[in-house]
A = this chain, B = another copy of it.
Amino acid sequence: MKQLHFDSDYMEGAHPEIIKKLAKINFDKIVGYGTDEYCKSAARKIREAFECPNAGVHFLVGGTQTNKVVIASFLRPYEAVIAADTGHIATHESGAIENSGHKVITLPNDNAKLKASAVLEYMKDFEEHCNPTHTTIPAMVYISQPTETGTLYSLEELKALRAVCDAYDLKFFVDGARLGYAFAAPTNDIMMKDLAELADVFYIGGTKIGALFGEAVVIKDPEKIRYFRTPIKQNGALLAKGWLLGVQFDVLFTDQLYLNISKNAIDRAMELKQGLLNKGYTFYCESFTNQQFVILPDEKLNDFNQHVTSTFWEKVDDTHTAIRLVTSWATTSDEIEQLLSLL
């Protein structure tokens, strides 16, 4: 039996339409640094999809890079960003945000989510007891949709965060490295235009959903960061062949390809989830997106690991371990079946 791979959603290349397109235009000569027609077209399609005709759209290469450029561009040097303690910028980016000079203020997560109530409490306490001379000024709220453990913000939760941001003059930034997988989730109640209305800035992940690489940043009020392309360049995030990004997002946002292939990952994840439930397994947390965190008895794990790559998550007790299984736009039902047959 062939080795199965469920350790991440960035293991395949790109959707075949993208590969085809790249091959087709390979010898066209295209102007550099994202000033080409593909980027313009992709930006137009994204503005249409999210119903934000005045938004600024920029294409970057990867997630950490995008988080760093956005945060560094929106904040003044003495301002900080608030995140859940499980937030990607707080845990898995090698101090990229701090490296740009900004403190990440971490608040306890609730199922990997940052609750509006937690931010509110922090801001109240900040205003009452903190001396803004001796502490950094919280100026931005960062969340991931879906979160790092696959949970989802509801529309109500998003609106509550927006309200706190409005009350305390905080920017609202949504990391959408897996954004498509949120929109495709059965429990999702947020529409694309909701996100564009509620967030000051968010990005649409391509790396994990159908592209070779690439993240599309959407800025609600582009006048606020007049020269956003400059920090992109300054952070080494401006691709000479920017059209590589434009082409990919242009394909992904044609005929709803992005949503359709996201849906595949979710459908496969739900098959996996149901199959595991049927076999009596329990879960570390409940997820309706493409990351499933199942608890396995350690005695099964050794054998399982011979055939499947996955991610160790946590020792649950002396004899059980939670592991992460990730589906992607490219996962097949056949692979799910094979996986289930091992358990």
Binding site for B on A (CB under 8 A): 5, 7-8, 10-14, 16, 19, 22-23, 25-33, 61-69, 72-73, 76-78, 80, 91-96, 98-104, 129, 132-137, 207-208, 212-213, 227, 229-241, 244, 309, 312, 330
Q: Is the CB of A95 within 8 A of B99?
A: no
Most buried by B among A27, A68, A94, A135: A94
Would A22 and B13 count as touching, CB distance under 8 A? yes
Partner of A229 from B93, B101, B133, B136 at Cβ < 8 Å: B133
Which of chain B's residues have a CB closer than 8 A to the CB of A135? 91-92, 94-95, 230
The residue on B at minimum CB distance from A13 is B26
| Residues in B neighbouring A104, C-beta threshold 8 A | 98
| Pairwise interchain contact B12-A136, C-beta atoms closer than 8 A | no
CB of A96 within 8 A of CB of B233, answer yes
Query: Are A235 and B99 touching (Cβ within 8 A)?
Result: yes
From A229, which residue of chain B is reached at the shortest CB distance?
A: B133
User: Cβ of B233 and Cβ of A93 under 8 Å apart?
Assistant: yes
Which of B11, B25, B134, B312 is the one whose CB lies under 8 Å from A13?
A: B25
Are A78 and B62 in contact (CB-based, < 8 A)? no
A-B contact pairs, 28 of them (CB 8 A): A10-B32, A12-B26, A13-B27, A13-B241, A14-B26, A16-B26, A19-B26, A22-B22, A61-B236, A65-B236, A69-B236, A73-B76, A77-B99, A78-B227, A91-B135, A94-B230, A95-B101, A95-B136, A98-B98, A98-B103, A98-B104, A98-B136, A99-B101, A99-B234, A132-B230, A133-B233, A136-B230, A207-B241
Chain B nearest Cβ from A339, distance in angstroms: 13
Chain B residues, Cβ within 8 Å of A13: 22, 25-28, 241, 244
What's the least CB distance linking A95 to chain B, in Å? 4
Question: With a CB–CB cut-off of 8 A, which chain B residues contact A312?
Answer: 129
The answer on a CB contact under 8 Å between A231 and B78 is: yes
Residues on B with C-beta less than 8 A from A212 are 22, 241, 244
Q: Which 6 A-B pairs have the closest CB atoms?
A: A65-B236, A13-B26, A95-B136, A5-B29, A95-B103, A11-B29
Q: Do A236 and B66 form a contact, CB below 8 Å, given A61-B61, A133-B94, A230-B94?
A: yes
| Cα distance, A13 to B36, chains bound together (Å) | 14
Which residues on B sit within 8 Å (CB–CB) of A7? Answer: 31
A37 to chain B, nearest CB (A): 14
B32 touches A77 (CB 8 A): no
Known: A32-B10, A330-B27. A78 touches B16 (CB 8 A): no
Contact across chains for B207 and A136 when beta carbons are under 8 A apart: no
**What is the CA–CA distance of A25 and B26 in the complex, to the nearest angstrom?**
18
CB <8 Å contact, B77 and A73:
yes
Give the contacting residue for A230; candidates B62, B67, B133; CB below 8 A. B133
| Chain B proximity of A196: nearest CB distance (Å) | 24
Nearest CB of B to A184, in Å: 20
Q: Are B233 and A64 in contact (CB under 8 A)?
A: yes
Give the distance in Å from the alpha carbon of A30 to the alpha carbon of B64 in the complex.
Answer: 20
Contacts A11-B31, A33-B133, A95-B102; A213 near B78 (Cβ below 8 A): no
Most buried by B among A12, A67, A235: A235
Q: Tell me how far the C-beta of A108 lies from the nearest C-beta in chain B, rounded to whole angstroms.
A: 13
Nearest residue in B to A90 (C-beta to C-beta)? Answer: B103
